[in-house]
Amino acid sequence: MRLQGKVALITGGGGGIGRETALLFAQEGAQLVVVDVNDGAGHDTVKAVEAQGGEAIYVHADVARAADCAAMVAAAEEHFGKLTVLFNNAGIMHSQDDDAMQTDEDIWDLTMSINLKGVFLGCKFGIPALRRAGGGSIINTASFVALLGAATPQLAYTASKGGVLSMTRELAVIHARENIRVNALCPGPLRTEMLMKFLNTEEKRQRRLVHIPMGRFGEAKEMAYAALYLASDESSFVTGAEFVVDGGITAAYVTPEGA
């Protein structure tokens, strides 16, 4: 088992990438702390982990609140004795996120609070726990739009994910000599509820698909396998990386019309 003896905390664990990662990590031997604001979804993930023979607890936490982030890390140490993998995965993509002229300030602030501040707070309280455990792995969910502009305007989301990527690099450098690795997972467009709600017309979906060489959206489980590598000791010399899993979208050149 690739994660035997590890304790992993996953924010946004109630669905999408978070749930698939929780299930996969448990199959590989990790004990899980599932974090979400949707209690029903979070408890469902725990039940799914337990149904396959794994061990998990659920913690309600809003990652934009310092007290909640402190509490989720404390719960990991209290219940399992340590924390060795921190997956800062929680995030939003608001339907009213648009270009600079159309995006309201409150949508910008909400997106930054969850997507960027949430990663900061996870690291603020998670890094001391990883130190106490003798080291570990931090995985921050960024995005392919941290590397290039999106075809469909989503300015707050794009800016927040760029911030996650920059913060990941700096944290990796700061903590490299402490046996703490920090990497950014950069998914391409996924067939998840979050993105499909945003790409809510066939025209919007096709505008995105035309840029993907593989011609399809990625699956949450494909991101879970990437996270598994970053969480495991197999990636022991990997830190500060942009781990891009995007169906080739950042490697391709197309015109805006997709020709």
Q: What pLDDT digit, counting tens, does each position of 211-249 carry? A: 889 988 999 999 999 999 999 999 999 999 999 999 999
pLDDT band at residue 209 under the 50/70/90 scheme: confident
Active site residues: 157
pTM check: above 0.85: yes
Contacts of 47 (CB under 8 A, 6+ apart): none
How confident is the model over 63-102, as pLDDT tens digits? 999 999 999 999 999 999 999 999 999 999 998 999 999 9
**Encoded tokens for 6:** 């590890």
Rg (the chain; Cα; Å)? 17
* One-letter amino acid for residue 223 of the chain: M
Q: For 172-214, what is the HEC assignment?
A: HHHHHHHCEEEEEEEECCECCHHHHHHCCCHHHHHHHHCCCCC
Strands (DSSP E) found in 65-144? 85-88, 136-141
Distances (CA, A) of 173 to 41, 121, 170: 35, 18, 5
Domains, the chain? 7-244 (3.40.50.720)
155-175 vs 118-132: helix axis angle to the nearest 10?
20
Average pLDDT over all residues of the chain:
94
For residue range 133-156, what is the model confidence (pLDDT) as tens digits?
999 999 999 999 999 987 778 999
* Residue 258, pLDDT above cutoff 50: no
Give mean pLDDT, residues 4-13: 98
Largest CA distance in the chain: 56
149, 209 Cβ separation under 8 angstroms? no
Q: Is 81 left (phi over 0), alpha (psi -120 to 50) or beta?
A: left
